[in-house]
Amino acid sequence: MTGSLIGAPLDRVDGHAKVTGAARYAADVPAADPLHAVIVQATIARGTITDVDETAARAVPGVVEVLTYRNAPRVPAFPFEFALPFCEELAPLQDATVHYHGQHVALVLGETFEAAREGAALLRISYAPAPAEIDLDTAHTVTNPDHFFGSAMQYRRGEPERAFDASAVRIDATYTTPLENHNPMEPSATLAEWHGNELLVHDSTQWVMGTQACYAKAFALDATQVRVLAPYIGGGFGCKGFVWAHQTLAAMAAKATGRPVKLVLTREQMFTSVGHRGLTRQRVRLGASRDGVLQATLHDVTSVTSRVGASFFEPSVIATAMLYGAPAVALTTRVAQLDVPSPTAMRAPGEAPGTFALGSALDEVAYACGLDPLDVLRRNETATDLEVGLPFSSRNVLACYDRGAEAFGWDRRSHAPRSMRDGRELIGWGVATATYPAMRSNGEARVTITPDGTIDVASATHDLGTGMYTVLTQIAADALGADPRAIRVRIGDSSLPLAPVAGGSMSTASVGPAVLDAATRARAEAITIATSSGASPLHGLHADEVEVVAGVLRAKADPTRAIGYGAVVQLGGSGAIEVHAHAAPGDEGERYSFHSFGAQFVEVRFDEEIARLRVTRALGVFDCGRIMNRKTARSQMLGGITFGLGMALLEETVRDERYGAVVTNNLADYHLPVNADVPPIEVLFVEEPDLRFNPLGARGVGEIGITGVAAAIANAVYHATGVRVRDLPIVPEKLLTPALAAV
């Protein structure tokens, strides 16, 4: 890297297109003579379809076709593999079996959306219900998975039971988190159209290449026959990371009718069609000495999955073994299979609920020891990941604690619960640790310098609103010594160079090094042409005698000897300077453990007279290596902390206990934070480039922001009220004293 653009708070380069409406999302893309599709969902939790009466539906003017298991194109079901990311081993509309309430059982196609919607409402489907299991406590099928995407779900070191029993201070508590749903601003949408044996799909997906692989497999095509486009995505948080039935349905319908088909999920359908965060029940036992140092950690988690998507569950033990320095640890995970829709990744899967339980339990240890909770966190610091026996590549969590404490004014905190008050409001301050693994995958990029001086950067990566367009612009412009306005970034297209799923907070860490390499090599090639061509003002100079400023190559000793990138390309005679680069992790993972860390500080206020609980101040301090863009990174953290606030105080998906139907399937009943709920949030970064991790020194920032927030809020609530709430969300009735609750 040669310039100073890395880290600069550059405005989003795609911002103008988004605020003016020029950016087209999947549902916005026009198509010639399209059909509109509306999904009909099962109204039983388990059983069989016995009859489908299509008469009234087909009689609606504008209804063109009704697809059910009786006439839908045949497609096979495939088990989940990371490279073939079907979320459910259940191909849509292939038989009469119903596996969960909300399963797609029919598709109505109309000339207009209104016609299709009316036809769907008039379709009559009869069922033979079968006994269903939708409650964790009645589950008959419970598994004990060994691993989750490579992380151990059953783990031991030392003698944790003996160490726990021998500890001077023992905490044994159970924490629960409810089912939660993603609610991105853009509902999932797909536009599919066939051109002979080639399939073109506009999709709201976080992984165009994984989606391409699924379409190819489902329809027995070569990957080159499928193109998936997703240049803009209106949020995802994981629900658009893998492939769901509605995407296959759109392509099936387009194949059956010979016309483009546009399918947009309703907000209600988003609650059953694209995954969720499964509920968790977590028993945490912590044994500590009187000075708050952990001697034993035992973390037992029970979570839920579906019968048709059992590959995914909430891996809540995932951070426990490495986060603190306890010498004895035991982790267990149990997963109940139920007749419910399949869960999937939801922002910091595992870490978000896991840090709630572990962070709350550490706070309980602090109070049992009579110590400041922040001191207990400091005393359990470790420089080594004891789970894998490797040093951390970089771990500045102590600096996060210190900077956060100073900025938050932690030294003014009194220790006792209910000891801080402002008028009739009780005030509480809480703290917890944030963490998320630093992940990296194979990534590729192509950098092309054209004769007019435009620099094209291309990769099949994605921007969910995370700032990828802007960050890649900065990396390329910095390496090339170019004006950012000369950079054009193209992403979200499966025909572009390889990129991984936009999940696991790894996109910048994976694709960024490839862009850096390609841009650096393109710069070197341009300098070679400029110094070797007799027609160039730089002819005869050595490469180290040339600098590049704002896209102009010039002699360091005499800046009047200069030539722009476009003119250099013309001198080269090849039509363009084009460099394709591939970046991948090496063997550094055998020497270091890669994680990011942070500290979450929260203030709450509780008015006992009206049972009003508010988060009134939040501060997050994060150690994520080099920050690529301080503005977009801060935005990510603001979103993550807000996400955590919703998790702690508001969000809960409720199912009908008899039928499995989601009864909170709208934004009136499923409560999300709005502007009035969100307090002033301060975000700070402890910047230390992690060059052991990748050449940029940058780790991901997308998901760590939510981790630790729920624990910090729960801990602040205890400090304010003296009530320890171990079951999310923390609604006001959980804080009422028995006398008040009886009123």
* Catalytic residue annotation: 703
| CA atoms of 409 and 402, how far apart (whole Å) | 11
Number of Cβ atoms within 10 Å of the Cβ of 364: 21
Number of Cβ atoms within 10 Å of the Cβ of 510: 27
Q: Do 392 and 383 touch, CB atoms closer than 8 A? A: yes
| CA atoms of 512 and 519, how far apart (whole Å) | 10
Number of residues that make up the chain:
743
Q: What is the DSSP string of 322-384?
A: HHS--SEEEEEEEEEEESSPPP---SSTTHHHHHHHHHHHHHHHHHHHT--HHHHHHHT--SE
Q: What is the DSSP string of 98-148?
A: E-STT-EEEEEEESSHHHHHHHHHH-EEEEEE------GGG-SEEE--SEE
Amino acid occupying residue 617: R
Our separate counts of H helices and E strands in the chain read 17, 32
**Token reading at 545:** 């005698």
Amino acid occupying residue 41: Q
For the chain, how big is the Rg over CA atoms in Å?
27
Nearest to 244 by CA among 210, 278, 197, 200: 210
Place of tokens 């955590």: 644
| CA atoms of 17 and 677, how far apart (whole Å) | 29
Amino acid occupying residue 702: G
**Token reading at 238:** 């994981």
| CA atoms of 62 and 60, how far apart (whole Å) | 6
**SS3 call for 30:** coil
Amino acid occupying residue 694: N
**Token reading at 663:** 């009864």
Half-sphere exposure of 180 (CA within 13 A, CB side): 31
Number of Cβ atoms within 10 Å of the Cβ of 608: 18
In eight-state DSSP terms, residue 589 is: G
Residue 375: which H helix or E strand, with range?
helix 373-379
Nearest to 549 by CA among 569, 523, 573: 523
Nearest to 715 by CA among 603, 599, 609, 597: 603
The set of long-range contacts for 553-556, using a CB threshold of 8 Å and a minimum separation of 24, is: 553/526, 553/527
- Enumerate residues 6+ apart whose C-beta is below 8 A from 54: 66, 68, 123
Per DSSP bridges, beta strands 141-143 and 63-67 are unpaired
**Token reading at 26:** 């999947």
SS3 content of the chain, % helix, strand, coil (to 5): 30, 30, 45
**SS3 call for 204:** coil
**SS3 call for 328:** strand
**Terminal CA-CA length for the chain:** 66
